[in-house]
């Protein structure tokens, strides 16, 4: 499709035509080299229409609201590659979010699919949404990313052989076959964008929404990406993209354009009819000028604000189909009031996910295992840190646990151990989980898996690493510092340490699920200060004022310290060895327990308290995670 421009035979346009032809050739050569084809027309086509769409955004507490979209209308027919254009702040991404179903709060108006009011749950089964940033699992290879997507997005009726054939076909067609063993982190920008598209093509969606698919790509990669999308549209899909300001050669690749300015529709129709439209509104496109650039200039009010009202009135804020191609207009259906909305795409009202909960958990655990095996921060560096800190503290407090003159030093060591378990585990989760959130938001919205199965997999995958790290640290520190060589005491020491690790991890997950890295890094340690204050270290529990004593019941460090002190100095421990020429005030363990206001027989209660706090924080973290997923919509 060509864009009609004034004096089409001028040299500038010839150069633009050369650019377009070279882009076409580069894509063709890429596909020929791969010798792959992808021809999987969707089971049905969807004619997407919307009427009187308004979106009102909150400006913050007591700051009121602002209407971003002002009753826009539109029609996006199947088999078309459609661009939503407009200057920054025009409402492009907001409209795309609403049409995809990603944004549901503050929205009014009606979206129709094939003439019926859209059933969002059914519609989401036939559509996908690819965000602007490429949200890929960086530690997985191209083939592994595709296999995970296939196992999650294709039902049990699809055999493994069929999945493999589908994956190979898609990767060949997108020119990614040579990157099958390359980790996603090592792909170029264009390859990442094509892999994002490939992942969603697994289940052959009918409608595809893409937010700024050309962002961060060079001109050649942009042309390749848009050409691939156009080929997909030609198979019967409805493909809608937002794009800021395309070049003339890129603009030619789109079939239809929808122009927004300040939340209103300036133009809707084919790209070839844009120039005639501009003539009709008495603002003709200048010679040698890219119509896409010129219409953006108009939308930015560079030629005055009155043209905006004229264009909106001419297009009836998106209701008019006067500038559609003739072969497209007959396919448009008038919206039908009422009716069975399930006819939009599917009569199946079961869960949104394609596979069972068991399969989702199995696949997510497999993915988690691969990531854990390759993650230098969460696995290898974590093991090294635990080993090095254990050796450092072991050297500093060498044999302090068996020396009656160093009982207070040993008590300080026990609290330092809890601090290590708390801070290292909590901060690691706070720093890493927000990065995982962006991937979770994309995959969960595109129906890869349920939040319950994702949360369960995250909980289970980290257990072996946490146990290994804690066991390594506990073994080093326990024997280097000369703690009682008693199997029961060591197991009590290890169990308390392990529970503190899990509780701190849950606390970090709770913070990381809601806040970004910067806010979480500040909030995590800040909220940990009261935990330390109410733990009974520095200020004993009996010295706490009555109005603050309640804090000791919610401090997991209090139960951790009491449990670990009980493991070392409880169980009626015998007199601690004391040099003949030294005075050992705490050679009798009972004396220490009396002075720090702790009992040596509370281990069982401490374990129960820590387990209850662990379950509470895990439940709260899940609720906050679910809230965050809904809040972004």
Q: Is residue 10 pLDDT above 50, yes or no?
A: no
- Going by pLDDT thresholds of 50, 70 and 90, the confidence category of residue 159 is very high
Alpha carbon distance, N-terminus to C-terminus of the chain: 36
> Mean pLDDT throughout 463-489?
93
Q: Which string of b and e fits 337-351 if b means at least 16 CB within 10 Å?
A: eeeebebbbbeeeee
Beta bridge partners of 58: 65
User: Worst-scoring range by mean pLDDT, 61-65, 358-362, 460-464?
Assistant: 61-65
- Going by pLDDT thresholds of 50, 70 and 90, the confidence category of residue 469 is very high
Task: For residues 593 and 40, give the distance between their C-alpha atoms in angstroms, rounded to a whole number.
Answer: 74
- Enumerate the domain spans of the chain: 11-126+206-344, 134-204, 357-631
- How many CB atoms sit inside 10 A of residue 313's CB? 11
Q: Is residue 238 pLDDT above 50, yes or no?
A: yes
> Mean pLDDT throughout 73-95?
93
The mean of the pLDDT values for the chain is 86
DSSP secondary structure of 484-507:
---HHHHHHHHHHHHHHHHHHHHH
Q: Is residue 153 pLDDT above 60, yes or no?
A: yes
User: Worst-scoring range by mean pLDDT, 54-68, 182-196, 492-506?
Assistant: 54-68
pLDDT digit string, tens, across residues 408-458: 999 999 999 999 999 999 999 998 888 888 899 999 999 999 999 999 999
Task: For residues 621 and 215, give the distance between their C-alpha atoms in angstroms, rounded to a whole number.
Answer: 34
Task: For residues 453 and 449, give the distance between their C-alpha atoms in angstroms, rounded to a whole number.
Answer: 7
Q: Which string of b and e fits 197-235 if b means at least 16 CB within 10 Å?
A: bbbbbbbbbbbbbbbbbbeebeeebbbbbbbbbbbbbeb
Q: Where in 170-226 does DSSP place strands (E)?
A: 207-211
Task: For residues 394 and 398, give the distance between their C-alpha atoms in angstroms, rounded to a whole number.
Answer: 5
Superfamily of domain 11-126+206-344 in CATH is P-loop containing nucleotide triphosphate hydrolases (3.40.50.300)
> What is the C-alpha radius of gyration for the chain, rounded to an integer number of angstroms?
31
């Amino acid at each position: 499709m060509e864009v009609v421009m004034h004096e089409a035979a001028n040299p500038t346009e010839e150069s633009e035509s050369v650019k377009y032809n070279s882009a076409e050739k580069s894509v063709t050569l890429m596909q020929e080299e791969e010798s792959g084809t992808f021809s999987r027309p969707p089971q049905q086509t969807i004619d997407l229409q919307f009427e009187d769409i308004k979106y009102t955004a909150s400006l913050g507490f007591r700051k009121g609201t602002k209407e971003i979209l002002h009753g826009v209308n539109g029609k996006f027919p199947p088999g078309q590659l459609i661009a939503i254009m407009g200057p920054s702040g025009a409402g492009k991404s907001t409209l795309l979010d609403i049409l995809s179903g990603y944004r549901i709060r503050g929205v009014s108006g009606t979206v129709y699919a094939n003439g019926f009011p859209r059933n969002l749950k059914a519609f989401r089964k036939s559509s996908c949404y690819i965000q602007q940033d490429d949200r890929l699992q960086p530690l997985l290879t191209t083939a592994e990313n595709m296999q995970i997507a296939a196992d999650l997005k294709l039902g049990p009726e699809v055999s493994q052989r069929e999945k493999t054939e589908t994956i190979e076909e898609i990767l060949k067609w997108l020119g990614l076959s040579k990157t099958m063993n390359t980790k996603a982190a090592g792909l170029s920008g264009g390859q990442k964008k094509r892999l994002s598209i490939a992942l969603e093509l697994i289940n052959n969606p009918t409608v595809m929404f893409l937010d700024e698919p050309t962002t961060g790509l060079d001109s050649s990669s942009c042309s390749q990406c848009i050409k691939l999308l156009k080929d997909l549209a030609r198979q019967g899909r409805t493909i809608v993209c937002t794009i800021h300001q395309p070049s003339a050669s890129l603009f030619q690749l789109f079939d239809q354009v929808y122009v927004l300015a300040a939340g209103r529709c300036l133009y809707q129709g084919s790209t070839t009819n844009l120039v005639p439209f501009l003539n009709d509104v008495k603002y003709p496109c200048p010679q040698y000028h890219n119509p896409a650039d010129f219409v953006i200039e108009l939308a930015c009010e560079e030629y005055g604000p009155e043209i905006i009202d004229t264009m909106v009135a001419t297009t009836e804020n998106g209701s008019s189909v006067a500038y559609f191609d003739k072969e497209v207009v007959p396919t448009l259906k008038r919206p039908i009031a009422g009716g069975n909305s399930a006819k939009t795409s599917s009569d199946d009202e079961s869960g949104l996910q394609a596979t069972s909960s068991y399969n989702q958990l199995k696949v997510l655990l497999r993915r988690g295992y691969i990531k854990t095996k390759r993650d230098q921060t969460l696995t290898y560096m974590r093991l090294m840190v635990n080993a090095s800190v254990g050796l450092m503290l072991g050297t500093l407090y060498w044999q302090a646990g068996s020396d009656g003159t160093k009982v207070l030093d040993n008590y300080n060591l026990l609290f330092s151990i809890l601090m290590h378990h708390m801070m290292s585990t909590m901060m690691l989760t706070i720093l890493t989980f927000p990065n995982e959130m962006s991937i979770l938001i994309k995959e969960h919205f595109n129906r890869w898996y349920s939040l319950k199965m994702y949360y369960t997999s995250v909980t289970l995958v980290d257990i072996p690493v946490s146990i290994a790290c804690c066991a390594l640290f506990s073994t080093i520190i326990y024997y280097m510092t000369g703690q009682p060589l008693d199997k029961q005491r060591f197991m009590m020491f290890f169990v308390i340490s392990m529970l503190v690790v899990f509780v701190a991890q849950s606390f970090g997950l709770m913070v990381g699920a809601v806040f970004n890295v910067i806010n979480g890094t500040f909030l995590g340690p800040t909220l940990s200060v009261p935990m330390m204050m109410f733990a009974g270290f520095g200020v004993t529990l009996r010295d706490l004022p009555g109005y603050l004593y309640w804090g000791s019941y919610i401090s997991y460090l209090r139960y951790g310290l009491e449990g670990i002190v009980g493991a070392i100095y409880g169980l009626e421990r015998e007199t601690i060895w004391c040099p003949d020429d030294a005075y050992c005030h705490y050679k009798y363990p009972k004396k220490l327990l009396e002075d720090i206001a702790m009992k040596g027989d509370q281990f069982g209660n401490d374990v129960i308290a820590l387990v209850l706090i662990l379950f509470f924080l895990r439940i709260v973290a899940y609720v906050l995670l679910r809230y965050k997923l809904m809040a972004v919509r």
